[in-house]
Each structure stands twice: as C-alpha cells, then as structure tokens.
C-alpha cells in the first residue's frame, strides 16, 4: 500500500481527499485553544471559565457522533461530510463575534458537532480499502486528519501575526477563526463534487433498521443501554460544570431543567433501541453466525478509545496553558510548543495502524499501546518547573505517541466488527473518545495537571489489562474482504 500512497488514484485519491476533510474539521474544532490566553484577557475570562470552554468544545460531540454515525450509514459519507464542513462556518462566526463568556460557550457547543466528522471518514475509508490494509489506511486518515490540531495550535497564531502585519494591531484571533470556517465550507463543496461513497460496482450497504444500533443477542441490548447511559452521564456532568458558582453559565433551576431534558433524551434513545431490537430481545428474531457480531468488543473499543483519543483531546486542549503556567512561556510560544504533541499525528497514528496490520495481532497492539500511555502519563505527572523544558516535552511526546498510535490501533479493529454498521459502531466508539476527554478535563478543572496525568495514566493501565484479557481478534482481520466476527454464543455481549 505504501508504494502506491502518492499515486492519487482510486482508492488513494479518496483517502487523501477524506483525510484533508478531517484535517479541516479539526482545525475548526481546535481553533480556540491557541488563542485561549489572549481571548481570556480580552474578554476578562477566569481560568475556570477557560477550562469550562475546553469541556464545552467536546460536549455536543458526544451525542453528535452517534447521530452522525446513524445518518452516515443511511445517507453515505459524501453527503454527510460535505454538509458538516459547510456547517462549520456557523460556529466559527459565533465564536469570532462573541463578546462574553456565554456567547463563547454557545459557539463552542455548536463547534462540537464538527468534531463528529471523524466517524464519517472511517466509513468512507473502510469502503475503499480491503481489511488487510485497513489499519494503515485508517491510521493515515486519522493521523493526518488529526494533524489539524497541530495546524490550529501552531499555524493560527502565525495567521494572526500575518494579519496584524497587514492590518495593524496585535491580536486578530477573530479574523483567524472566521478564516478557518470559510476554508472548511469551501472545501465541503469541493469534497461533494470530488468523491463517491463506494468504488464503481460496489453496493453501499445500509443497516436493515435505523434509529439505533442493531444488536444480535438479547444480552447485548442491555449492554447497549448501559453504554449509552455512560454518554448521557457525561452530558449531565458538563451541565453540572456549567452551573458551578465560578462559571454560572446556568443557574440551579436551569441545571435541573437540562438534566430533565437529558433524562428524556436517554428515555427516547432507549425507546428507539427497543423498537429496533425488540424482536431480538423477545426471541422472535435470531441471526445466523455470519450475521452476528460481538457487542462486548464494541464496549471494549469504546473504553480503549476513551483512554487513547480521550487523552489526546485533553492534552490538545490543556497543554498550551500547561506549558505557559509551568515554564512561564509567552502566549505565542506556549501553543507553538504544545503543538508538537499534535505534530506527532503525522506518523504516530498511522504507525498504530501499520503495526496492527503487520504484527499479526490487533489485540496485542492495542494492549501494548494502552500500557505505554499509562507509563507515559504517570511519568508526566512528575513534571514541575525544575524540569528542563526539552525533558518535559520528551515525556509529553512519548505519551502522545502511544495515545495517537493507540487511537489508530482502535480503528484498525472497529470497521471489522460489522462492516455494514461501521458508521454506527464508529460513531459510538468515537463518542467515547469525547467521553474520555470530558471526564479528564473535568478532573483537570477541579484539580490540577498532576492529578490529571495520574488519572489518565492509571485509567490507561486498566484499559491495557482489559484488552489483554477480553479483547478478541475480528474474524478475517488480515484478509481481502471484511467479514464480521461470528459469536460463539448468543448470550455473549
């Protein structure tokens, strides 16, 4: 695959067009972080408010990735990705024209929808590449797309400086943020005109039922409800965060109203799951071995992605302030130093995919990388102002390398579980990446960077243990065609 990577012929043309769509969505998603300190000063925001904004940036992505995953399976990646990129202009304009904390929060909550674009490309790439190359293809898509976080942290301050050189002044964060939305919207039109959902002659397979993920055994239904409850709980945590006295975006009454709405959302989500799966739960429908998939594996991938991509999201959001506060760096240099973490995505996430392809075991690749994350972040918890900056950066880079490669390894498995449901599975797994980010950032907002790094490290070691004991290889992981793994028992989650 590597020798043909730059041919720009199908399927490589689709891969390049799609990772760049993901790249632009991440530039938009993280276009606040490099300007956080500057915006905080200009709008008189407290440190707690800035940390809350970072959480808000992830919040809506949790339900959005599930919704987008379902829409993706129904309408296809071409329409879904194009629409998301065009919509990106809306939250960019809201953020860029904001004059207070509340307006910023609204803009960042809406921006969370753009963060769900990741799952769209997972399905697109899976349609165009065989399973033997799926790890590297998904790694390139995810890694080069995630490079958008580096472009935001490193490039946008330079864009601001460039505008200042032409127009005068010292801070042009508003124009820089709008610029990212305009570019994304224009590319959304280009993407729509340039891709197809599948290669010529290949049928785009859709789930038999819509509205919720379809399971293939009764106990898997209850597992699905439990995993959905975790995502709903994360939304409740964000709501509580916004109602804290230091933030005061919501008052107590409004917090309870939002909690009631979240509970209603979960009830509706559970009802939809019942409508889709009631015949399976009641035993009226059974699936042949080749039609079944192991939902327990989906749950493990959700946990894995919450520790890998969740750690990455957290680091991208907090590292600029971390380096500024720990080493006294300026508002310009702190985000540039922090952007090295995202720069690793160019090769780290593809490396996770290619190791998964070449090692011959996707399970043990995932296990080893999760353990590496644990060791890396526990070491990072020891960083203090007495450290040399290069040493601290080296530890952070090692942690990022393992986290990003682990994300690539996770999605070397996800498209193989049940190919025609890749959008929904990727949406649920992807949502748990944001779930992890929300929980980690909540820990950070309530404590400090040391406690955050310890939490990420210990959680990753637990994840490594779970993968070692319970994760299974999908059937035909390294074959020509993607085939779902059959269950050995319908009682298995």
Q: What is the pLDDT of residues 347-367, one digit of tens each?
A: 787 777 777 777 777 888 889
Judge whether 211 and 70 are in contact, CB under 8 Å: yes
Judge whether 120 and 312 are in contact, CB under 8 Å: no
Looking at residue 1, the DSSP 8-state letter turns out to be -
Q: What is the pLDDT of residues 168-187, one digit of tens each?
A: 776 788 999 999 999 999 99
Judge whether 428 and 435 are in contact, CB under 8 Å: no
Give the CA distances from residue 288 to residues 319, 422, 484, 485, in Å, rounded to whole numbers and listed in that order: 49, 19, 12, 11
By mean pLDDT, which of 59-73, 259-273, 346-360 is the weakest?
346-360
Q: What is the pLDDT of residues 9-40, one digit of tens each?
A: 778 899 999 999 999 999 999 899 888 888 98
Residue 491: per-residue pLDDT: 32
Q: What is the pLDDT of residues 402-456, one digit of tens each?
A: 998 898 888 778 877 877 777 778 778 877 888 888 889 888 888 888 999 999 9
Q: What mean pLDDT is predicted for residues 187-202?
A: 92
CA dihedral 412→122→460→440, nearest 10 degrees, is 170
Q: Which pairs count as long-range contacts for 378-386, CB under 8 Å and 24+ apart, including other chains?
A: 378/453, 378/454, 378/457, 378/458, 379/457, 380/453, 380/457, 381/449, 381/450, 381/451, 381/453, 381/454, 381/457, 383/326, 383/449, 383/453, 384/326, 385/326, 385/327, 385/328
**Domain residues of the chain, as ranges?**
8-196+211-470
Residue 2: per-residue pLDDT: 54
Q: How far apart are CA 117 and CA 187, in angstroms?
A: 14
By mean pLDDT, which of 63-67, 209-213, 384-388, 392-396 is the weakest?
209-213
- Contacts with 390 (C-beta within 8 Å, 6 or more apart), sequence order: none
Looking at residue 34, the DSSP 8-state letter turns out to be G
Residue 36: per-residue pLDDT: 84
pLDDT above 70 for 478:
no
8-196+211-470: what CATH class?
A: mainly alpha
Q: How far apart are CA 263 and CA 435, in angstroms?
A: 17
By mean pLDDT, which of 273-287, 379-393, 418-432 is the weakest?
418-432
Average pLDDT, the chain: 84
Angle at 363 between CA 362 and CA 369, to 5 degrees: 90
Residue 458: per-residue pLDDT: 96
Looking at residue 491, the DSSP 8-state letter turns out to be T
Residue 325: per-residue pLDDT: 86
Judge whether 440 and 455 are in contact, CB under 8 Å: yes
Q: How far apart are CA 421 and CA 433, in angstroms?
A: 19
Residue 250: per-residue pLDDT: 85
As a whole-number percent, the residues of the chain with pLDDT over 90 amount to 32
Residue 188: per-residue pLDDT: 96
pLDDT above 90 for 345:
no
pLDDT above 50 for 489:
no
Identify which of 218, 24, 3 has the alpha carbon closest to the alpha carbon of residue 120. 24
Q: How far apart are CA 350 and CA 140, in angstroms?
A: 5
User: Phi and psi at residue 271, in whole multiples of 5°?
Assistant: -65, -45
Residue 475 binned pLDDT confidence (cut-offs 50, 70, 90): low
- Contacts with 342 (C-beta within 8 Å, 6 or more apart), sequence order: 146, 147, 149, 150, 152, 153, 154, 316, 400
Q: What mean pLDDT is predicted for residues 284-309?
A: 86
Judge whether 155 and 35 are in contact, CB under 8 Å: no
Residue 1: per-residue pLDDT: 57
Judge whether 194 and 34 are in contact, CB under 8 Å: no
């Amino acid at each position: 695959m590597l020798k043909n990577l730059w041919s720009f012929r199908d399927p490589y043309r689709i891969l390049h067009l799609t990772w760049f769509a993901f790249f632009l969505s991440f530039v938009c998603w993280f276009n606040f972080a490099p300007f956080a300190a500057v915006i905080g000063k200009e709008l008189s925001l407290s440190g707690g408010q800035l940390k809350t904004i970072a959480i808000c940036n992830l919040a809506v992505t949790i339900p959005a990735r599930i919704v987008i995953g379902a829409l993706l399976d129904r309408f296809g990646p071409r329409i879904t990705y194009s629409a998301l990129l065009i919509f990106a202009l809306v939250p960019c304009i809201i953020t860029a024209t904001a004059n207070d904390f509340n307006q910023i929060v609204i803009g960042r909550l809406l921006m969370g929808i753009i963060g769900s674009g990741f799952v769209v490309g997972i399905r697109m790439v899976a349609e165009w590449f065989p399973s033997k190359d799926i790890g590297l293809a998904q790694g390139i898509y995810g890694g080069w797309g995630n490079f958008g976080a580096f472009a935001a942290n490193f490039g946008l301050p330079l864009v601001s400086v460039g505008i200042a050189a032409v127009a005068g002044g010292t801070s042009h964060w508003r124009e820089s943020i709008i610029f990212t939305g305009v570019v994304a919207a224009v590319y959304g039109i280009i993407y729509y005109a340039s891709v197809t959902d599948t290669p010529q002659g290949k049928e785009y397979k859709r789930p038999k039922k819509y509205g919720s993920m379809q399971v293939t055994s009764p106990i898997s239904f209850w597992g699905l409800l439990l995993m959905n409850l975790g995502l709903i709980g994360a939304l409740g945590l964000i709501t509580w965060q916004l109602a804290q006295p230091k933030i005061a975006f919501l008052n107590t009454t409004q917090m309870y109203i939002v909690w009631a709405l979240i509970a209603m959302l979960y009830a509706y989500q559970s009802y939809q799951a019942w409508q889709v799966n009631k015949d399976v739960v009641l035993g009226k429908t059974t699936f042949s071995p080749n039609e079944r998939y192991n939902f327990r594996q989906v749950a493990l991938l959700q946990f894995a992605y919450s520790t890998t991509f969740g750690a990455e999201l957290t680091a991208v959001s907090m590292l600029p302030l971390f380096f500024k506060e720990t080493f006294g760096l300026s508002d310009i240099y702190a985000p540039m130093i922090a952007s090295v973490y995202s720069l690793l995505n160019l090769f780290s996430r593809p490396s996770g995919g290619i190791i998964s392809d070449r090692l011959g075991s996707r399970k043990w690749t995932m296990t080893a990388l999760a353990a590496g994350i644990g060791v890396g972040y526990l070491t990072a918890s020891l960083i203090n102002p007495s450290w040399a900056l290069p040493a601290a950066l080296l530890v952070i880079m090692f942690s990022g390398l393992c986290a990003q490669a682990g994300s690539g390894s996770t999605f070397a498995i996800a498209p193989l579980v049940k190919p025609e449901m890749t959008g929904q599975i990727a949406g649920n797994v992807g949502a748990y990446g944001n779930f992890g980010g929300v929980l980690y950032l909540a820990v950070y907002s309530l404590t400090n960077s040391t406690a955050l790094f310890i939490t990420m490290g210990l959680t990753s070691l637990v994840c490594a243990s779970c993968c070692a004991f319970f994760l299974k290889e999908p059937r035909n992981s390294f074959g020509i065609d993607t085939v779902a793994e059959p269950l050995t028992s319908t009682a298995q989650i």
